[in-house]
């Protein structure tokens, strides 16, 4: 279950700002809608698969009233693709409201994927039973110029279909969450709360980066209200001033013990950021001094909190089970400790990536052929269970395409010259399609062992460069529209079996197959 939820009513709007940078999609809708001064647009520009439907329920906010779902059981994943700036940083939020769209009264369970990394399992059952929608957030670095967000079936999806209601892709500043190497990790949100209040969620435009700060109240702790406003630009993560308005405190000389997040956590490492501000009017005595510990381990000693506010963080802090934050005041502190807000993210190791040359070659092939497999979107090789149909990939961290089998898939179009960038490819099987155009120069593909291009509509001469493939054992070219005969340099290759149409065979051999034996 996601620990985050939307009520089915709109957030309040406080004041207007320039629109946030990024992509904000009202999935399944044919028209734009405005929520909290953000324009959510239809999603069809960023995805070409799936069906759409409308949830017929009163009092839904607009982005929950439509959705896109993916009933295709043969597809390994369904991806949204976004053009982004190279080496950029984004916050991604996926929003789900089941609304019994399929009449089964049983929300589906499925995976969500960012790039080549499995992000999390989506299970909205508990939230939906309460009449609530669910959302998930992750912060990612993007090394290239394309960002993919994908949904995929898993063992628990059964006969139902993955779906999505809204998708936010929010650009972040370079300074934000910069203690984490986003080239090696991603940050999956566990909790983001403002402490002491029980009012509305803090969101855009109060937080200009469109983060959601859920109110967190605890009757065991007295609350305070700030008399001054922090400057967000003084903090790396640029938190909204509204997150500091209220906070928990304790009496002078007493520790503050806070169980937060309010649910047990898996045993792994987390990014933890805590935010503090002395609530009193600025002055020479407006400071609070205390130690911070997490689950009994010292997090920071002798923290001095003024009215300017301060953030303390750990990029990889081990947590397990219930978490307790303890603020222990200094002996001479005139007032007790205070805490205003906090964020916790699970640190997810990057799931690897497809070799950039292989990925570009596959994208070029995708653009060159018509009617490609519907799951040809996102990272070609990763996650491994969700690689593109027809691909077999290596098991390295930077994975390579080692086999491509698209036999008899009804493909048309041509082969791009860049296909020869896939230099780890051992088997290329494209037979029994309707491919046209010439055979490109494949000589850089020195690991290629089998090449099947039979039963297409390929034209032009049979390239002599095929003789430069030292490991080629099988070459099948029959039933095309190729000109001329097989080059003599190919006929002289030992250990190579060639299948070709009679008109392409040398005059001394019209058997449609030549095998040059090893010496």
Q: What is the DSSP letter of 513?
A: E
> Residues 212, 63, 37, 276: what is their CA dihedral angle, to the nearest 10 degrees?
0
Q: Give the list of residues 6+ apart from residue 315 with CB closer than 8 angstroms, or none.
A: 179, 180, 271, 347
Contact status, residue 16 vs residue 205, Cβ threshold 8 Å: yes
By C-alpha distance, which of 380, 370, 364 is closest to 148?
A: 380
Write down the H helix ranges in 393-438: none
Return the HEC string of 78-143.
Answer: EEEEEECCCCEEEEEEEEECCCCCCCCCCCCEEEEEECCEEEEEEECHHHHHCCCEEEEEEEEEEC
Tokens, residue 27: 């999935």
Q: Other CB atoms closer than 10 Å to residue 470's CB: what's the count?
A: 9
Q: How far apart are CA 424 and CA 416, in angstroms?
A: 17
What is the chain's pLDDT, residue by residue, as a tens digit (519 residues)? Answer: 344 444 343 333 344 567 789 999 999 999 999 999 999 999 999 999 999 999 999 889 999 999 999 999 999 999 999 999 988 999 999 999 999 999 999 999 999 999 999 999 999 999 999 999 999 999 999 988 899 999 999 999 988 999 999 999 999 999 999 999 999 999 999 999 999 988 899 999 999 999 999 999 999 999 999 999 999 999 999 999 999 999 999 999 999 999 999 999 999 999 999 999 998 887 776 679 999 999 999 999 999 999 999 999 999 999 999 999 999 998 888 899 999 999 999 999 998 889 999 999 999 999 999 999 999 999 999 999 999 999 999 998 899 999 999 999 999 999 999 999 999 999 999 999 999 999 999 999 999 999 999 999 999 999 999 999 999 999 999 999 999 999 999 998 889 999 999 999 887 765 556 654 343
Q: Tell me the whole-structure pTM to 2 decimals.
A: 0.91
């Amino acid at each position: 279950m996601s620990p985050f939820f939307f009520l089915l009513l709109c957030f309040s709007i406080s004041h207007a700002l320039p629109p946030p940078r990024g992509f904000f999609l009202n999935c399944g809708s044919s028209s734009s809608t405005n929520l909290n001064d953000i324009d959510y647009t239809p999603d069809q520009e960023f995805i070409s698969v799936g069906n759409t439907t409308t949830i017929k329920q009163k009092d839904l906010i607009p982005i929950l009233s439509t959705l896109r779902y993916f009933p295709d059981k043969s597809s390994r994943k369904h991806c949204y693709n976004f053009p982004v700036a190279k080496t950029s940083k984004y916050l991604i939020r996926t929003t789900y409201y089941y609304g019994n769209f399929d009449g089964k009264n049983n929300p589906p369970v499925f995976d969500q994927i960012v790039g080549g990394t499995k992000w999390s399992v989506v299970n909205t059952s508990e939230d939906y039973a309460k009449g609530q929608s669910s959302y998930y957030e992750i912060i990612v670095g993007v090394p290239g110029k394309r960002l993919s967000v994908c949904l995929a079936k898993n063992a628990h999806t059964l006969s139902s279909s993955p779906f999505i209601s809204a998708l936010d892709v929010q650009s972040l500043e370079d300074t934000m969450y910069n203690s984490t190497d986003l080239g090696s990790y991603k940050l999956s949100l566990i909790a983001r709360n403002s402490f002491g209040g029980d009012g509305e969620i803090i969101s855009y435009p109060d937080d200009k980066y469109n983060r959601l700060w859920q109110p967190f109240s605890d009757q065991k702790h007295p609350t305070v209200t700030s008399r001054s406003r922090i400057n967000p630009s003084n903090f790396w993560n640029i938190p909204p001033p509204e997150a500091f308005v209220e906070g928990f405190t304790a009496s002078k000389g007493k520790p503050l013990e806070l169980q937060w997040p309010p649910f047990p956590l898996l045993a792994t490492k987390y990014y933890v950021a805590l935010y503090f501000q002395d609530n009193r009017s600025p002055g020479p005595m407006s400071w609070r001094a205390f130690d911070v510990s997490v689950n009994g381990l010292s997090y920071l000693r002798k923290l001095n909190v003024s009215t300017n506010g301060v953030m303390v963080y750990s990029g990889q802090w081990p947590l397990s089970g219930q978490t307790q934050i303890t603020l222990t005041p200094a002996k001479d502190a005139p007032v007790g400790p205070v805490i205003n807000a906090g964020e916790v993210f699970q640190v997810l190791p990057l799931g690897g990536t497809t070799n950039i040359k292989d990925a570009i070659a596959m994208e070029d092939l995708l653009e060159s052929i018509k009617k490609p497999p519907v799951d040809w979107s996102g990272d070609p090789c990763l996650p491994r269970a969700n690689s593109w149909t027809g691909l077999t990939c290596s098991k390295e961290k930077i994975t390579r395409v080692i086999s491509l089998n698209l036999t008899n898939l009804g493909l048309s179009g041509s082969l791009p010259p860049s296909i020869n960038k896939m230099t780890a490819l051992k088997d290329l099987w494209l037979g029994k399609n309707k491919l046209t155009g010439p055979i490109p120069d494949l000589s850089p593909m020195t690991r290629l062992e089998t090449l099947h291009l039979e039963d297409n509509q390929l034209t032009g001469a049979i390239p002599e460069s095929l003789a430069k493939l030292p490991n080629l054992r099988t070459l099948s070219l029959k039933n095309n529209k190729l000109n001329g005969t097989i080059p003599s340099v190919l006929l002289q290759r030992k250990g190579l079996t060639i299948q070709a149409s009679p008109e392409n065979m040398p005059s001394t051999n019209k058997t449609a197959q030549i095998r040059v034996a090893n010496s």
